[in-house]
Structure 1
Amino acid sequence: MGNTSKKLAAKCTLLTKDEQKYVAATFRAASKNSERIREDDLIVSGKVDAVLLEKFWGPQIDPRLAQYLSNFLFGSGQQKSPTVEFNRFAELYVYNVRGTVDERMMVTYNSLGKDYNETVELPYQLLKEYCESIASTYIKILKSSSSKRARTWIEKGFKGRASHVQALGEAVAATVGGDLDSPHHHCTAEQLSKWLQTNTLLKQLAELVFLNLYGINKKAGDESPTPVPAAMPSLLPLPDGLDAMPDYPAFIDLSHIVWLNSHIPQKHQHKWRFLFSSHIHGESFSTMAGRIQDQGASILIIEDNSGYIFGGYAPVPWSLGPNFIGNEDSFLFTLAPKMRMYPATTYNNHYQYMNHHTKTLPNGLIMGGQFEFGGIWVNADPFGEGSSAESCSTYRGYRRLSKEPVFHIRSLEVWGVGDKPVIDKESDERDVSVLDTNPEAKAILDMAGRTRHSEGIREPPPL
């Protein structure tokens, strides 16, 4: 790195030493070794250029986000400057990756062409487009990534379609205040502040986008952006079990996976395990039940014959039985036409039910509600028929998930999330010793002062 970069980096105390190296090198390439960047050198949307920044910001960045970043860096209207200095360039990175709420507020206001002022309201439509531009850029980064994780999903038919990316941005913006399904017009600084504090997905999307745009943790000579720096959790889970499926019939989108994965408990977000598909394993309730039992927490995803996509998160392993099981971590969701999540009310515990071959109880799968009026009801026989009730007291804010109350299942999938749990039986067989099953013998040895040699060689429990 030349003297110019060292001098630039020394001026900015916001950056760590490692970040100084990357950000200064990126700035140096765009500024042509000067102390200022011209706007034309930074963003040349859609063109391929030899400039290093163009390789990061040209092909991947959503044109709207390019304009928003330009507003932050160079200003807008009569206040617009023809150039930007290193400190402002570094601030854009730092505030988006690890900024305080106030710093992120300033970025949002300035990017949308507004001065940060507590009395200024932001048009909701503008905020929605801002969220869409960040979501769109993240999906573009994923699609151009060389990581095996992203490539496996994409090669199996999981696209990043514009309509679904737009729905992801809308779902992120919709939580800014008020009723999720009522139209917003403007949001206040107070609403924006609370939203920035609580919206984890927006923060993660922005963080990963700016880590990529600024080339942080990029290996020397690697011209492909890395969607996830080494120490960062991915918003995209590791797909387990898809490799063996040559003609996988994907019906959900990369945007759906990112959004849905952000709502399940963090301990399960690293991996999705493919368990069942009605297209691959057949339309058989018995087959589905056999494949999803004892698999830990799972996600049920259904597409009805009208193209509505919805489902539920089941926090405990499915099992056949006459009673409801599960806990308040359970939630229902829709993915299309909108992305919405309905958390548990704790009003009742009717989270999961699955039964088959009984005469006195319903044969099928239920999530929420009552036997005859489930939030989701999947009939066992004939398999392929289902229903979604108009109301469901088990989940807060619930609205009917399918287009029609009674629907035909076009596609049904179940994914296990997180690592597969260790079966208790196997664990018991491994850990139990003779002394464990005979406490009296153990006590006699203790009183006699005898050493129990097996204690030292017992295998440690699995992590």
Structure 2
Amino acid sequence: MKNFIVKIMGNTSKKLAAKCTLLTKDEQKYLAATFRAASKNSDKIREEDLIVSGKLDAVLLERFWGPQIDPRLAQFLTNFLFGYGPNKSPSCDFNRFAELYVYNVRGTSEERMMVAYNSLGMDFNDTIELPYQLLREYCESIASTYIKVLKSASSSRAKTWINKGFRGRASHVQALGEAIAASVEGDADVTLNACTSNQLNKWLQLNTLLRQMTEAVFVNLYGINKKTGDESPGPVARAEPCLMPLPIGLDSMPDYPAFIDLSHIVWLNSHIPQKHQDKWRFLFSSHIHGESFSTMTGRIQDQGASLLIIEDNSGYIFGGYAPASWSLGPNFVGTDESFLFTLAPKMRVYPATTYNNHYQYINHHTKTLPNGLLMGGQFHFGAIWVNGDPFGEGSSAESCSTYKGYKRLSKEPNFRIKSLEVWGVGDKPMSLKESDERDLSVLDVNPEAKAILDMAGRTRHSEGIREPPPL
């Protein structure tokens, strides 16, 4: 994909865009409009059009980039567009402007790595290591801009969350960027000074969250996929990829007590199976439904896969993804899709080791087995233990062989629950009764009609096209 834009003659942005063979026709149109606005109808964008005395030119950038871009990312992009050090140029042409878009939206891992190096003021070379602190700044600037885009977009999904009190607080957005950068190393809590090109290449291939956020950011900044007839240079977010799930069940609660952040939702949703990412179904809140274990179990049973989210009295937020329906009983259930996570003070995910299958347990009103909810570990030494009676007490063990890289989730081994929520993810599974009813013929529920057809000697065609019963 490198050097994909040919040398261009001409002085209109439309002619320039038409020569970019790897841009779609719609992309050519929108990039031309954005370039025309930024270049003031010339064939080059000058640095002083974007940066004035080292500060963002609010008058120009407010038109299409200003309100939605983190100041750090703005500086990184000028490094890419105009260069740095002795090779710095006073202007950039349409070629470079389009390269920034294409490499970020659909570039190879090597091309995206080159963008990262150049944006951080470094020449790309396989032998040059990238300082980890710079990588972290880059990830934080992408995360910050993505949340800004999300909050300013017209997406009904984002608006529903925001209107219910979910915010994109700076500290949580910063933690999201840190978590993305930390995943460049196998152990996210190992302190790195620098990253090799091999580490970065592998990381860029595997980190789908960073790729999706970066794509959404640049599609937005370049004004791609606007409504038909909208020729303005301002950006409009594209519907896909959307990292925000559709919230189901919040509309009827005017005073919803949100305690997690938009950044947390994006982080968690990116880690659950893709088939469940489209919607979250609100099932239980200790603030709304009361501190009652019986109420909680009644509301979360037979609901399919779910997320348990807990805030302790020290402000630590953590929980687990339960891939199977919760069901009262003496046995552990679940699969190795299960994982535990922390959201505050850091965002981390602990996947299953398959060492044992102690993923989900819930029981109540029994004399011989513990009464409560457990994820991971053993009875009395659970990674997450929520006591059944009295409700409101919990514990998190120092070690847990069920989950890889596990570290205690709460601040203290024993904690008081400040907030507890359960969200079903994806569609609610059909009950056996609903499944059986769906397979019934009208003749099964109307024996009179069946008898009339028998007397008339008519064939019952619906019986001939049924699926054979399972063996």
Q: TM-score, normalised by structure 1?
A: 0.92
Task: Select between 154-163 and 4-13 the one with higher mean Cα deviation.
Answer: 4-13
SS at match of 2:419: strand
CA distance in 2, matches of 1:17, 1:239: 35
Residues 118, 189 of structure 1: 8 Å contact kept: yes
Aligned to 1:349: 357
Q: Where do 1:361-440 residues align within 5 Å?
A: 361-433=369-441
State the aligned residue count: 445
**Structure 1 residue ranges without an equivalent (≥5):** 438-449
Structure 1 counterpart of 2:204, which letter? L
Q: Where do 1:218-237 residues align within 5 Å?
A: 218-219=226-227, 220=230, 225-227=235-237, 229-230=238-239, 232-237=240-245
CA distance in 1, matches of 2:352, 2:27: 42
2:69 equivalent among 44, 61, 66? 61
2:126 equivalent among 106, 118, 131? 118
Map Cα deviations across residues 108-147 of structure 1 (whole Å, 9 max, x no partner).
Answer: 1100111110010110000000000000000111111222
Aligned to 2:311: 303
SS at match of 2:350: strand
CA distance in 1, matches of 2:69, 2:432: 49
Aligned to 1:100: 108
CA distance in 2, matches of 1:65, 1:273: 34
CA distance in 1, matches of 2:410, 2:147: 27
SS at match of 1:37: strand
Residue 3 of structure 1 and its aligned partner are, at CA, apart by: 8.0
Aligned to 1:440: none
SS at match of 1:59: helix
1:75 equivalent among 80, 83, 86? 83
2:461 equivalent among 444, 450, 453? 453
Residue 85 of structure 1 and its aligned partner are, at CA, apart by: 0.5
CA distance in 1, matches of 2:140, 2:221: 17
SS at match of 2:45: strand
CA distance in 1, matches of 2:248, 2:103: 35
SS at match of 2:367: coil
SS at match of 1:212: helix
Structure 1 counterpart of 2:192, which letter? H
Residues 33, 232 of structure 2: 8 Å contact kept: no
Aligned to 2:271: 263
Structure 2 counterpart of 1:421, which letter? P
SS at match of 2:284: strand
Map Cα deviations across residues 35-72 of structure 1 (whole Å, 9 max, x no partner).
Answer: 100122235766653x5x54221111000000100000
Residues 141, 225 of structure 1: 8 Å contact kept: no
Q: TM-score, normalised by structure 2?
A: 0.90
Map Cα deviations across residues 379-429 of structure 1 (whole Å, 9 max, x no partner).
Answer: 000000000011111000000000000000000000011112222211102
Would you say 1:155 and 2:181 are equivalent positions? no
Residue 451 of structure 1 and its aligned partner are, at CA, apart by: 4.8
Aligned to 1:283: 291
Residues 157, 249 of structure 1: 8 Å contact kept: yes
Distance 1:272 1:224, change over 3 A: farther
Aligned to 2:448: none
Residue 255 of structure 1 and its aligned partner are, at CA, apart by: 0.5
SS at match of 2:12: helix
Residue 275 of structure 1 and its aligned partner are, at CA, apart by: 0.5
CA distance in 2, matches of 1:289, 1:14: 54
Residue 161 of structure 1 and its aligned partner are, at CA, apart by: 0.7
Would you say 1:243 and 2:251 are equivalent positions? yes
Aligned to 2:6: none
CA distance in 2, matches of 1:329, 1:224: 41
Structure 2 counterpart of 1:181, which letter? D
CA distance in 1, matches of 2:234, 2:81: 25
CA distance in 1, matches of 2:286, 2:430: 26
Q: Percent identity?
A: 80
SS at match of 1:176: coil
Aligned to 1:28: 36
Aligned to 1:201: 209
Residue 78 of structure 1 and its aligned partner are, at CA, apart by: 1.1
CA distance in 1, matches of 2:464, 2:41: 64
CA distance in 2, matches of 1:224, 1:21: 13
Residues 375, 388 of structure 1: 8 Å contact kept: yes
CA distance in 2, matches of 1:226, 1:274: 29
Task: Select between 31-40 and 314-323 the one with higher mean Cα deviation.
Answer: 31-40
Would you say 1:181 and 2:184 are equivalent positions? no
Residues 310, 318 of structure 2: 8 Å contact kept: yes
**Structure 2 residue ranges without an equivalent (≥5):** 1-9, 446-457
CA distance in 2, matches of 1:214, 1:165: 23
Task: Select between 26-35 and 393-402 the one with higher mean Cα deviation.
Answer: 26-35
Map Cα deviations across residues 77-117 of structure 1 (whole Å, 9 max, x no partner).
Answer: 11110000101100100100000111111101100111110
Structure 1 counterpart of 2:167, which letter? K
CA distance in 1, matches of 2:105, 2:257: 36
Distance 1:157 1:129, change over 3 A: same
- CA RMSD across the alignment: 2.4
CA distance in 2, matches of 1:201, 1:430: 38
Map Cα deviations across residues 267-310 of structure 1 (whole Å, 9 max, x no partner).
Answer: 11111111100000000000000000111100000000100000
Q: Where do 1:132-143 residues align within 5 Å?
A: 132-143=140-151
Residue 360 of structure 1 and its aligned partner are, at CA, apart by: 0.2
Residue 433 of structure 1 and its aligned partner are, at CA, apart by: 4.5
Structure 2 counterpart of 1:177, which letter? E
Residue 224 of structure 1 and its aligned partner are, at CA, apart by: 7.7
Structure 1 counterpart of 2:92, which letter? V
Residues 46, 59 of structure 1: 8 Å contact kept: no
